[in-house]
A and B are shown apart, each in its own frame.
Chain A
């Protein structure tokens, strides 16, 4: 009998040339400058004299195909049939004449897509999969982000922050959402609960032991079966053992908390890139709207907006005023958990007489 026909995949990375807006293709590598005629609009000028206007709008990232088709319809009717997405799930639709900009903005806003996210605004939140699809999630990033952006939409649509504000949300401590000016990240507060009946069948024990950053896991026998145990005095509740060993359940509806981190910066502009720093924790995982998280994010943004100078990112602002002033201005409590005791952490302590009184 003949073997069933198996289709062989065509391996290779798709060339992007055919997806470029014609002005992008014609002026590839030849752009001169840009400005922002209004929030949500970028205007680029080429050395050739060509100009292109780009309207940027926000989406829910997790899009139904109807939403994408709606964007396509708008891009066809009010623009020139091309669009691109940013790293933060914003859509950018470009046009080659200025008179197309306002009708395009109106069409996007009428269809429910907020126009903004440029310059010194609060952009859309980079985020992870959460309860919708992840196998190890501590929360639902899509829901946290939707509730945050409902609060922040005016700051998305206006440019009235000292500099750009980039946010991220991550559903576990692995922090797939990445570094950000303000990052919302799940923080576990209890060691894993181990189902000893399942460990030997599901987990490769040496791999799990090796995964622990503080060597708190060791092999053991429970009820005659090989299993693992956790030295709970050593455990830092990071959840690293959970992905390779699902019977070591780290998630819990009550003990999963949310932490807020600030001052992460990807760009090299002014200061070197920085990682975000812990400024709040213990916030409840309060689905479906996470009001406590929104309250803290709001406080931080308000303090930054009031006190930051033009072009200071969150990290630059805090660098100038110092951490005591940050905690004073935001009203957030400074706790012992903010004092770094991880390896190399002493570089984060103040080894000077530099004190602001």
Chain B
């Protein structure tokens, strides 16, 4: 039995309504956990004052420089003693879940057991970077909890100016849109850069994210410095039975309005089945006895829309790999930026492909570590130095897929024009 609850009239309002209530959950914990009792009191005080009342600090586990988020209460009585003493220290352990956030129930229960024993019992599944957030441990218990999580096979996540915990979509495990082994990429990258994850020594945070297709379920373009997004180079595959089934169910008007009309590059046409163009880059599929879809794969930008709508009838191609974009980040300091295409297509099949990929990751991290200013993300660094300089630094050749449109102002010295033309010709020859 824990100590009695503090009155929480404001939080009690959040026990009403049909969506699962975190307040009800906290009260369940508070039945036998004094830290949860005082957390409720602490949070109620925030609801009364409409202010946060935690301050940070420095705290770690043996061997690591980051991964623990320390929190100390700022709610003190007139003598300087914490008003909610059992939640006076309320630290979070960031623990990396396995790629794709898969669990078996046995492991989840063991994680619960450890946190019931050493912490408040409150667990966020998951934080915005993709960590399991074990919230609420005393300074003394942080190491004990970590040791047990670590024995179970889990490692600490990133915090501070370091490589951060990454995220990958469900991908190959259960999705037909997947174009590369996301979990493998996730695994290889994190294990390669463990030192940068655990011992913060970068100019600022660096995030990788892995999405199996351009639907980008991990939001990698907007939320990661290094986005690896699955794509394919050959033609969209088709399945006549599934395509006919879709049209029989939804009608030709839906096909026109929802599939053909919404293709961003107008690469799809509805044709009489006998009039479909032939050619190496054409996909076609009959949608009923008379008509067929004709897809010009040369003009398809792999946006996924038609494949999302007619799942099964239209499918991703077979020559798969990934597009790599660098420089996505949120608001601070120049405003949000999206990643920019650095590699239009990177195959990820053979061992050599993976080595080349990891090598690019390494060059990017090295360039960032050496050239970014303090508290500057890759996107801001690229803004400051220009994409062409960044590409030179990471040894990647320029490509017109990197831009939306060429420059619209004359403000650069183009004295090296002839040499650049020679390079362009050489790239063409090498391709």
**B residues 245-298 in Cβ contact with A at 8 Å:** 254, 257-258, 262, 264
A32 adjacent to B315 (CB under 8 Å): yes
**Contact between chains at B16 and A24 (CB < 8 Å):** no
| B369 interfacial by beta-carbon distance below 8 Å | no
Contact indicator B102/A19 (Cβ below 8 Å): yes
Measured between C-beta atoms, what is the minimum distance from A179 to chain B in Å?
Answer: 5
Spot the interface stretch: B50-58, B353-361, B387-395, B414-422: B50-58
Does B190 count as interface, using CB distance less than 8 angstroms? Answer: yes
* Contact status A266-B124, CB under 8 Å: no
By a CB distance below 8 angstroms, the chain A residues around B69 are: 133
A33 within 8 A of B: yes
Q: Does B381 contact A (CB under 8 A)?
A: no
B186 to chain A, nearest CB (A): 8
B25 and A213 contacting across the interface, CB-CB below 8 Å: no
Determine the chain A residues whose CB is within 8 A of the CB of B11 once the complex forms: 288
On whether the beta carbons of A179 and B336 are closer than 8 Å, the reply is yes
The verdict on B2 contacting chain A, using a C-beta distance below 8 Å, is: no
Partner of A31, one of B71, B174, B214, B374: B174
A-B contacts at CB below 8 angstroms, number: 349
Is B305 in contact with A311, judged by CB distance below 8 angstroms?
yes
**CB-based contact B170/A64 at 8 Å:** no
A81 CA to B375 CA, complexed, in Å: 43
Q: Is the CB of B56 within 8 A of A16?
A: no
Q: Which residues of A contact B173 (CB under 8 A)?
A: 16, 20-21, 24-25, 28
For A65, give its contact among B50, B92, B121, B315 (CB under 8 Å).
B121
Q: What residues on B are CB-neighbors of A27 within 8 Å?
A: 174
Chain A residue at minimal CB-CB distance from B128: A176
When distances are taken between beta carbons in the complex, the residues of chain B under 8 Å from A58 are: 19-20
Interface string of B212-237 (1 = CB under 8 A from A): 00111111011100000100000000
B258 touches A310 (CB 8 A): yes
- Give the nearest-CB partner of A67 in chain B: B25
**Cβ–Cβ contact B218 & A142, under 8 A:** no
Complex: A10 Cα to B146 Cα, angstroms:
11
Q: Is A94 an interface residue (CB 8 A)?
A: yes
Q: Do the beta carbons of A83 and B19 come within 8 Å of each other?
A: no
Q: Which residues of B contact A137 (CB under 8 A)?
A: 52
Assuming A14-B96, A85-B101, A140-B47, is B22 touching A61 (CB within 8 A)? yes
What is the distance, in angstroms, from A28's C-beta to the closest C-beta of chain B? 5
State whether the Cβ of B403 lies closer than 8 Å to any Cβ in chain A. no
Is B343 located at the chain interface by the 8 A CB criterion? Answer: no
For A20, A177, A238, the residue with the greatest tally of chain B CB atoms inside 10 Å of its CB is A20
A275 to B336, CA, bound (A): 8
- Among B76-84, B150-158, B423-431, the one that faces the other chain is B150-158
C-alpha spacing A60/B29, complex, angstroms: 15
Provide the B41-65 mask, 1 if CB < 8 A to any CB of A, else 0. Answer: 0010011011111111000011110
**Is the beta-carbon distance between B126 and A12 smaller than 8 angstroms?**
no
The answer on a CB contact under 8 Å between B303 and A114 is no
- With beta carbons under 8 angstroms apart, the residue of A35, A149, A175, A271 that contacts B311 is A35
A52 & B174 in contact (Cβ 8 Å cutoff): yes
CA distance A294 to B10 in the complex (A): 17
User: Is B167 at the interface (CB under 8 A from chain A)?
Assistant: yes
Please name all residues of chain B whose beta carbon is closer than 8 Å to the beta carbon of A21 when the two chains form the complex: 102, 173-174
A44→B262 contact, CB < 8 A: no
Q: Interface extent on B, as a size class?
A: 35 or more
Given the known interface contacts A207-B374, A309-B257, the answer about A84 and B101 at a Cβ–Cβ threshold of 8 Å is yes
- CB distance A6 to B62 under 8 Å? yes
Give every chain B residue within 8 A of A59 (Cβ-Cβ).
Answer: 20, 125
Q: Which residues of chain A have C-beta atoms less than 8 A from B217's C-beta?
A: 87, 266
The answer to whether A102 has its CB under 8 Å from any CB of chain B is: no
Which residues from chain A contact B151 at a C-beta distance below 8 Å?
A: 10
A106 CB to nearest B CB, Å: 16
Contact of A135 with B98 at beta-carbon distance under 8 Å, contacts A9-B150, A68-B125, A268-B215 already known: no
B368 at the interface (CB under 8 A from A): no
Any B CB within 8 A of the CB of A11: yes
Whether, in the assembled complex, A287 has its beta carbon less than 8 Å from a beta carbon of chain B, the answer is yes
A15 interfacial by beta-carbon distance below 8 Å? yes
* Interface: B331 (CB within 8 A): yes
Min CB distance B163 to A, Å, is 11
B13 touches A61 (CB 8 A): no
Q: Are A273 and B222 in contact (CB under 8 A)?
A: yes
A18 to B100, CA, bound (A): 12
B181, CB-defined interface residue at 8 Å: yes
- A211 at the binding interface (Cβ < 8 Å): yes
List A contacts of B413 (CB < 8 A).
Answer: none
Contact partner of A150 (CB less than 8 A), chosen from B19, B101, B191, B264, is B19
CB atoms of B98 and A134 under 8 A apart: no
B102, B128, B218, B302: the one within 8 Å of A84 (CB): B102
Could you mark each residue 91-129 of chain B with 1 if its beta carbon is under 8 Å from any beta carbon of chain A, else 0? 010001111111111111101100110000111111110
Interchain nearest-CB distance for B334 vs A (Å): 7
Q: A15 → chain B, closest Cβ, in Å?
A: 7
- Cross-chain contact B170 with A84 (CB below 8 angstroms): yes
Are the CB atoms of A64 and B13 closer together than 8 Å? no
Residue B386 lies at the interface, judged by CB distance under 8 Å to chain A? no
**A residues with CB within 8 A of B:** 6-16, 18-21, 24-25, 27-29, 31-35, 44-45, 52, 54, 58-69, 71-73, 75-76, 81-87, 89, 94, 112-114, 126-140, 142-143, 146-147, 149-150, 153, 173-179, 207, 210-211, 213, 238, 240, 246, 251-253, 256, 264, 266-271, 273, 275, 285, 287-289, 309-311, 342-343
Chain B interface (Cβ within 8 Å of chain A)? 10-11, 13-14, 16-23, 25-26, 28-29, 36, 39, 43, 46-47, 49-56, 61-64, 69, 71, 90, 92, 96-109, 111-112, 115-116, 121-128, 130, 133, 135, 146-147, 150-151, 153-156, 167, 170, 172-176, 178, 181, 183, 186-187, 190-191, 194, 198, 214-219, 221-223, 229, 239, 242, 254, 257-258, 262, 264, 301-305, 308-309, 311-312, 315, 330-336, 338, 374-375
16 A-B residue pairs with Cβ-Cβ distance under 8 Å, sorted by A, are: A13-B190, A13-B191, A21-B174, A25-B173, A34-B311, A44-B175, A52-B174, A62-B22, A62-B122, A63-B123, A65-B112, A82-B103, A132-B135, A252-B51, A267-B216, A275-B222
In the complex, given contacts A177-B128, A253-B49, what are 8 additional A-B residue pairs having Cβ atoms less than 8 angstroms apart?
Answer: A29-B178, A29-B181, A64-B26, A66-B29, A81-B105, A84-B170, A138-B52, A256-B50
Q: Which 7 A-B pairs have the closest CB atoms?
A: A150-B17, A33-B312, A16-B98, A253-B50, A64-B25, A131-B46, A268-B214
